[in-house]
Structure 1
Amino acid sequence: MLLSTSGIRTIAIATAALLATSAAQAQETPFTPAPATAKPITIHAGELIDGKGKVTRDVTVTVLGTKITAIAPGKPAAPTYDFAKLTVMPGMIDTHVHITAHFNDEGRATDKDETGEQKGLKWAENVHVTLLSGFTTVQSIGSDDDLVLRKAIEGGRLPGPRLLTSGKPINNPKMTPDEIRAFVDATKAKGADVVKIFASASSRDGGAPTMTDAQMEAACGEARKIGIRTWVHAHAAAAVRQAINAGCYAITHARYTTQAELNLAAERGVFIEPSWGVVQQNYLAHQANYEGIGNYSKEAFEQMRRYQPSTPAVWHMMLQTKGLKLLAGGDTNAGGEGHNVEETIWRVEHGQPAMDGITTTTSADAAALGLGEVTGSIAPGMEADIIAVKGDPLKDITALRNVVFVMKGGKVYKNVAQ
């Protein structure tokens, strides 16, 4: 579902104004959002998936303000929303997006030479479409632009999912360990939620390691010292092992990993966030939009096509690794916004039980992001991040594409259930 023309124009103007905000102003206290109604909201669900593996039927969720206050069997006399024929569940979470990435007005995957107004419009579209697709929380890793966008969403000036961000990543293999430690400190100081680290080349370039052990240990050691999570881009098995040995928090991709690294990750409690169902499919579907920009060469697209057949085997190895902590992240990039759920659908269609796919995309992701007591499940005291879908995703995971109701923090952003 896209914004109306007038809605886009309004949001674009608001977002563009944010781009002109100075760095000093960006540190000011954000606007206080309009308070949620004091009147209780009741949501009757034909089926309720709580995000932690439990299913109940014919149940009513009560929301007051921004919080869930009660869950009770049956249907009240006049529920605010009667979803007797729908499945109600927590808002979904994507731990790996690039929320400001977009196609420019010429359809190219770049913002070079764009005005602030043009960027603002695209950002507003991305966050709004992502929210309406049922994702009420996302972690965006890779751009300082996210900090401005996060402020706008938190302040109630822009509709979008709860946004966590790394800001600019560590992506310079020439940095000394001391420079890396200083970068980590600066990342936390500017208000980032996580540090993104590139420990290998892109899979398009073979995915070889790009950091030394000393550099990796400096990055993740400093992050642990000051209390900020690390998210490590690593494809090669050697890079994955390096990140695990350095005590890093989470590893994204791990495309060329072996059973040895997965066993070690399970033993050390390191999260693995592979990206199987969105990113490569999106690149291949939009080759004309990407080719010729950066390392998106014709040869790179041929490389992507060559390694796609090997993906299910690596995924099955991950599924079968006892104790491995898997997360759901799509590496959603320009062209993929609003299609985040394809990651979960791909996983279930390739062997993961549907309930496991759903709990990973809700409560497990929330816990890994430090939000386990805030969102990711439907229970009294949790934020009222609630969606409803047509059909039963436990029987047909593609039902997650049919989101007809979205509530975030007690506020309804979408209701097309009728």
Structure 2
Amino acid sequence: MLSVHGERKILNHQKQAKLIKAGIFIDGKSFEPKENIHILIQNDKIQRISKAKKTVIPKNIEVSDLSDKTVMPGLIDAHMHFFGVPSLDVKEKFTETKESRILRALCEAGKMLKAGITSACCQGSSISPVLRKLIDVGYIKGPRIICAGEFICSTGGTWDYFDIPIDIVNKSGIFADGVDELRKKVRERIRQGANIIKIGLSKGHIYDSNHIWGDNPCMTVAAYSAEEVRAVVEEAHLNGLKVSAHCIGDISVQLALNNGIDLINHGYGINEETRNKILKTKKMIVSTISQIYFHIKAEKKYNYSLKRKEIYRIHWETMKRDFKKNIEKGIKYALGSDLVGYPTHPQDQFAKEFELAVKWGMKPMQAIISGTKNSAEAIGIDKITGTIEPNKAADIIAFKGNPLDDIKVLQNIDFVMKNGQVLYS
């Protein structure tokens, strides 16, 4: 802890200092909150964290008095998408102009930041590297973005829409088959600005209505061979990038575990043997409950077919079953929403993932850590952000209420700081 005199000395000798007075303080790594804490910030970094003292704060210091609020790290969505098209038909991304998609995504990014999402991982979209650059240079407000660029998909694989002519899908650069093509595709993604690689390892059966997710999550098939997966992992790791995989069902999760995949997305439709292997290998799963939740919420208003509703119900029940079993087993989760945009899947509603995780068995603080510290670790930015501690970026949010009593208070953010700059208050 910093003494009163130590705190005053730093305040007097460093320029552009800011002080946050926190009523309830959650640092993102401890399982118990603290009360009446001061957070000292210099430029974009957290400098000191100390108990509040009766001290005179110099007039030239910017003070954010949040003593009536809970203060915690900014939310980190470990899996979402900036497709830049209406969520009702994401296949428009193959035909809509890049300029139109970027403009739509810029608005979505701003809404996310206002909702307290200070970092996010776009796990598949060709426009995400451009969006990241626009945010990084300060042209627009948005979360810190980790991005995969376009998906990497086998022909007939996870994100290959059979009802669209193959020449149209092929223009997106999504396809890669065989070891040599996959190595080259990873290099292309890096050149395009990706700082994580996303590959699809599971797909529906050839007769399934839902090709991406599969009609039954326990009966999906593999989209790549082990040799192909290893080639992607080796090439990405040579360049210091993580590989994230779409995995629904035992076959794809085992494929990921056996061949060096860093991050398992979805991770349900699995048996006990696979569950034990996830625990043994200490791999993290990204949750994505919100994707199915918002489909079920939208089905009446947007006239989903009976078959489509049935498929989402099967996924919902299977995901819930395996989430609960995984939590009981001690498997580590990062929280990700898999939200793709308005009108049905608004990316700024990531806080719903915390509520759903708690409903399905997480303790409130466990969910908070999963959606801050663990999410940062999952997407490779844990040395930068994810917790409130010295030398990390000052990505901080605040709100009324105590999330340990009611996790839903995360859905009403009053204060957002990113990189030490107060953006909303």
Give TM class, smaller chain.
Answer: 0.7 to 0.9
Q: Which of 172, 177, 183 does residue 179 from structure 2 map onto?
A: 177
For residue 126 of structure 1, report the CA deviation from its aligned partner: 0.6
For residue 395 of structure 1, report the CA deviation from its aligned partner: 1.4
Check 1:184–1:371 CA distance in 2 against 1; reply closer, same or farther (3 A cut). Answer: same
Q: Which of 73, 77, 80 does residue 51 from structure 2 map onto?
A: 73
TM-score scaled to structure 2, two decimals? Answer: 0.81
Check 1:245–1:290 CA distance in 2 against 1; reply closer, same or farther (3 A cut). Answer: farther
1:265-296 deviations in Å (ceiling 9; x for gaps): 222232211211x11122233348987xxxx9
1:128-176 deviations in Å (ceiling 9; x for gaps): 1111111100000111200110000000001000001011111114711
**2:66 equivalent to 1:56:** no
- Amino acid in the other structure paired with 1:243: A
Check 1:288–1:189 CA distance in 2 against 1; reply closer, same or farther (3 A cut). Answer: farther
**2:324 equivalent to 1:312:** no
- How far apart in 1 are the matches of 2:177 and 2:339? 28
Q: Which of 299, 308, 333 does residue 326 from structure 1 map onto?
A: 333
- How far apart in 2 are the matches of 1:307 and 1:379? 38
Q: Is the 8 A contact 1:259 1:317 kept in 2?
A: no
Q: Which residue of 2 aligns with 1:157?
A: 139
Q: Which residue of 2 aligns with 1:32?
A: none
Q: How many residues are aligned here?
A: 371
Check 1:385–1:170 CA distance in 2 against 1; reply closer, same or farther (3 A cut). Answer: same
- How far apart in 2 are the matches of 1:298 and 1:374? 46
1:184-222 deviations in Å (ceiling 9; x for gaps): 222223331111010111224443322222222222233
- Amino acid in the other structure paired with 1:274: S
Q: Is the 8 A contact 1:204 1:301 kept in 2?
A: no
Check 1:118–1:224 CA distance in 2 against 1; reply closer, same or farther (3 A cut). Answer: closer
For residue 117 of structure 1, report the CA deviation from its aligned partner: 5.3
**2:365 equivalent to 1:355:** yes
In structure 2, stretches of 5+ residues that fail to align are: 1-13, 156-175, 204-211
- Amino acid in the other structure paired with 1:140: C
- How far apart in 2 are the matches of 1:228 and 1:266? 23
Q: Is the 8 A contact 2:364 2:403 kept in 1?
A: yes
Check 1:160–1:186 CA distance in 2 against 1; reply closer, same or farther (3 A cut). Answer: same
- How far apart in 2 are the matches of 1:39 and 1:198? 46
- How far apart in 1 are the matches of 2:404 and 2:315? 30
Q: Is the 8 A contact 1:103 1:289 kept in 2?
A: no
Larger mean CA deviation between 359-368 and 399-408 belongs to 359-368
- Amino acid in the other structure paired with 1:414: Y
Q: Which residue of 2 aligns with 1:408?
A: 418
Moved over 6 A (4+): 288-291
For residue 118 of structure 1, report the CA deviation from its aligned partner: 3.6
- How far apart in 2 are the matches of 1:287 and 1:350? 22
Larger mean CA deviation between 88-97 and 205-214 belongs to 205-214
- Amino acid in the other structure paired with 1:338: D
**2:66 equivalent to 1:83:** yes
- How far apart in 1 are the matches of 2:371 and 2:386? 8
In structure 1, stretches of 5+ residues that fail to align are: 1-36
**2:226 equivalent to 1:213:** yes
- Amino acid in the other structure paired with 1:262: R
Q: Which residue of 2 aligns with 1:97?
A: 80
- How far apart in 1 are the matches of 2:141 and 2:300? 30
- Amino acid in the other structure paired with 2:238: K
Q: Which residue of 2 aligns with 1:22?
A: none
Larger mean CA deviation between 178-187 and 215-224 belongs to 215-224
- How far apart in 2 are the matches of 1:354 and 1:181? 41
Q: Which of 348, 361, 374 does residue 364 from structure 1 map onto?
A: 374
Larger mean CA deviation between 304-313 and 244-253 belongs to 304-313
1:242-279 deviations in Å (ceiling 9; x for gaps): 11101110110122112211211222232211211x11
For residue 398 of structure 1, report the CA deviation from its aligned partner: 0.8
**2:46 equivalent to 1:39:** no
- Amino acid in the other structure paired with 1:275: T
Q: Is the 8 A contact 2:102 2:127 kept in 1?
A: no
**2:352 equivalent to 1:342:** yes
Q: Is the 8 A contact 2:21 2:65 kept in 1?
A: yes
Check 1:203–1:111 CA distance in 2 against 1; reply closer, same or farther (3 A cut). Answer: closer
- How far apart in 1 are the matches of 2:134 and 2:323? 37
- Amino acid in the other structure paired with 1:171: C
Q: Is the 8 A contact 2:197 2:243 kept in 1?
A: yes
Aligned-residue RMSD, C-alpha: 2.3
